Amino acid sequence: MKKTPDDYPITDLSAPERVARLDRLFTSISNKLDEMMMQFGTSKGGPPKDFNFKLSELQSAHTSLNKAYEVFHEKFAGTSPDDITNFDAIRDDIGCKLDRIRAALDAG
> Which residues form the domain of 57?
5-83
Tell whether the torsion through CA atoms of 8, 9, 13 and 18 is positive or negative. negative
Q: Which residues contact 16 (CB under 8 A, 6 or more apart)?
A: 72
> What is the count of structural domains for the chain?
1
Q: Is residue 12 part of a domain?
A: yes
Q: Is residue 93 part of a domain?
A: no
Specify the length of the chain in residues.
108
Query: Which element (helix H / strand E) includes 61?
Result: helix 48-76
For the chain, the straight-line distance linking the first and the last C-alpha, in angstroms and rounded, comes to 62
Per-residue pLDDT of the chain (108 residues; tens, 9 = 90+): 455 555 555 567 777 787 888 888 888 888 887 887 777 666 666 677 877 887 888 888 888 888 888 887 777 766 665 667 778 888 889 998 998 888 888 886
Q: Is residue 105 part of a domain?
A: no
